[in-house]
Amino acid sequence: MDERTMSQCEVRITAEAYATLHAHLFPGDGDEHGAVMYAGLLQTQAGPVLTVREVVLAEEGKDWVPGTRGYRKMLATFVARQARRCRDEKLVYIAVHNHGPGDRVSFSDVDLETHERGFPALLDLVQGMPVGSLVFAERAVAGDIWMPGGKRLTVSRMIVVGPQRIELLPAPRIADQVQQQLYDRQVRIFGERGQAVLSRSRVAIIGLGGVGSLLAELLGRLGVGSFVLVDPDRVAISNVPRLVDATGLDAMSWLTAEGRPEWLRRIGLSLATRKVDLSTRVIRRANRQAKIERHFTPMETREVVEALKTCDYVFLAADGHRARLLFNSIVHQYLIPGVQLGSRIQVETNTGKVDNVHTASRLVTPSGGCLVCNQAIDPRKLNEECKPDTMRQRERYLDESDAPAPSVITLNSVSASQAANDFLFYMTGLTDENAFQGTVQGRPMDRRIRFIAPRRDDGCTECGRGPESRFARGQYWAIPLID
């Protein structure tokens, strides 16, 4: 990573926290106001990320008073109290104030002089954590972050994670060139700016089976610029009808067909195309400029978690409850929105009759209630998945529930399309502010759609805001299933 990139950092904040802060800073009086943010620290491949956990508003006339050198200041006692809490909870102290309206902002000379005087003492007080300051205009933000050891960072952008994504910059971005002819019909919907946002976006697809394969095709053709693909499996004969662009050659069907000697089938299985490579091929055919990072492993590895830290969005198209638990934690600890999706066909064991069919696309966002609150992680099945295979066999966990589930490409396409559309509208700002934020469940047998509102428990240790919650904690909080 070059020094220019490493001298910058990103800030992530939920829409509800940003709305509270913005209303305080810009109440309509044209004056300056102050606040403090507590943020988690996340070291990533692209540089530090600050995840805002809490906003503390400075009370006018009590905490926020006329300045001696500058126009306004926060009282030293208020600052020290907030800094000590950051020290105790391993959070980043960020002072906040505002300037005027508009879409560009920068610190004044007085602001920078204040940082030079005060931040060295604050660094001593917080004992090993960064400190910093943000200044806002109504549609812009700039930042000065001081790291322990003397490195100083500017804030490249703030991402507001809500029903629609908002990107705040110090000044408007120079318009990116888009391939006007290639994306002409899309640009007519969300403009060249929207297409540029897609080209700069980085997404992860966890699980490249029937649903994930379709997502790779859809997102590749939308022009998404960067992918993290995760799947530990290779193409099998039974996958071919459901995987985009898969062929019998990918499955090595002439070696793996039933009736072949077992040793020959094992060779064929080892030579079959990896699903991450198949989806890479699909994406490249749509967009040769796409950057693709492949992980031929389960999700629950440190390397995958490191790759996910820099993603704008995560698609969970894997069935396991271990993957659900890890995905859920990443959404809330790192403030990265995502979706858990799939389809399910329930068949009566004795008669073979199809009892129920449904497709699901469940938004999972830092503010919308988590998979734990919504009982989408089964503790019993999670415990089973965490046992070694030999132990599971000994305890008879490997039974009919481990048999391959029924799957049809048309059902998978419903979930994949809903999730891809939700991502597209979120990234380009087309989602209505009051849009439904829960699960969209299709019921094709009776041609109905259900909308399931998410539940959220304020005391939840995943998505709640209590002292034991992982919400926005950054790297100073353990990630489950990762040593």
In which residue are the tokens 């606040």 written?
35
Write the CATH number of the domain with boundaries 184-233+274-452: 3.40.50.720
Q: Which CATH number fits domain 3-168: 3.40.50.720, 3.40.50.11440, 1.25.40.80, 3.40.140.10?
A: 3.40.140.10
Residue 363 backbone phi and psi in degrees, to 5: -65, 135
pLDDT of residue 392: 52
Contact 3, 152 (CB under 8 A): no
pLDDT of residue 259: 87
Contact 42, 474 (CB under 8 A): yes
In which residue are the tokens 């995987």 written?
243
pLDDT of residue 387: 76
Name the residue among 301, 250, 300 with its Cα closest to residue 279: 250
In which residue are the tokens 């697809």 written?
205
Q: Rounded to an integer, what distance in angstroms lies between the CA atom of residue 418 and that of residue 440? A: 8
Q: Rounded to an integer, what distance in angstroms lies between the CA atom of residue 234 and that of residue 232? A: 7
Distances 467 to 58, 87, 326, 471, 473 between C-alpha atoms, Å: 21, 14, 20, 9, 10
Does 184-233+274-452 match 3-168 at the fold level? no
SS3 sequence, the chain? CCHHHHCEEEEEEEHHHHHHHHHHHCCCCCCCCEEEEEEEEEEECCEEEEEEEEEEECCECCCEEECCCCCEEECHHHHHHHHHHHHHHCCEEEEEEECCCCCCCCCCHHHHHHHHHHHHHHHHHHCCCCEEEEEEECCEEEEEEECCCCCEEEEEEEEEECCCCEEECCCCCCCCCCCCCCCHHHHHHHHHHHHHHHHHCEEEEECCCHHHHHHHHHHHHHCCCEEEEECCCECCHHHCCCCCCCCCCCCCHHHHCCCCCHHHHHHHHHHCCEHHHHHHHHHHHHCCCCEEEEECCCCCCHHHHHHHCCCCEEEECCCCHHHHHHHHHHHHHHCCCEEEEEEEEEECCCCCCEEEEEEEEEEECCCCCCCCCCCCCCHHHHHHHCCCHHHHHHCCCCCHHHCCCCCCHHHHHHHHHHHHHHHHHHHHCCCCCCCCCCEEEEECCCCEEEEECCCCCCCCCCCCCCCCCCCCCECCCCCCCCC
Name the residue among 107, 82, 83, 96 with its Cα closest to residue 134: 96
Phi-psi sector, 378: left (phi>0), alpha (psi -120 to 50), beta:
beta
- Which two structure tokens, joined as six digits, stand for 330? 């990443």
- Which two structure tokens, joined as six digits, stand for 203? 């997404």
Contact 379, 323 (CB under 8 A): no
Q: Where are the domains of the chain?
A: 3-168, 184-233+274-452
Q: Rounded to an integer, what distance in angstroms lies between the CA atom of residue 147 and that of residue 45? A: 17
Contact 295, 303 (CB under 8 A): yes
Q: Rounded to an integer, what distance in angstroms lies between the CA atom of residue 351 and that of residue 346? A: 12
Q: pLDDT 10s digit of each residue in the chain, 483 long?
A: 333 345 999 999 999 999 999 999 999 999 999 999 999 999 998 999 999 999 999 999 999 999 888 788 999 999 999 999 999 999 999 999 999 899 999 999 999 999 999 999 999 999 999 999 999 999 999 999 999 988 999 999 999 999 999 999 999 988 667 776 788 888 888 888 999 999 999 999 999 999 999 999 999 999 999 999 999 999 999 999 999 999 999 999 989 888 889 999 899 999 999 999 999 999 999 999 999 999 999 999 999 999 999 999 999 999 899 999 999 999 999 999 999 998 888 888 788 788 889 899 999 999 988 999 999 998 888 888 887 765 555 444 334 444 567 788 999 999 999 999 999 999 999 999 889 999 999 999 999 999 999 999 989 999 999 999 999 999 999 999 886
- Which two structure tokens, joined as six digits, stand for 167? 């990107």
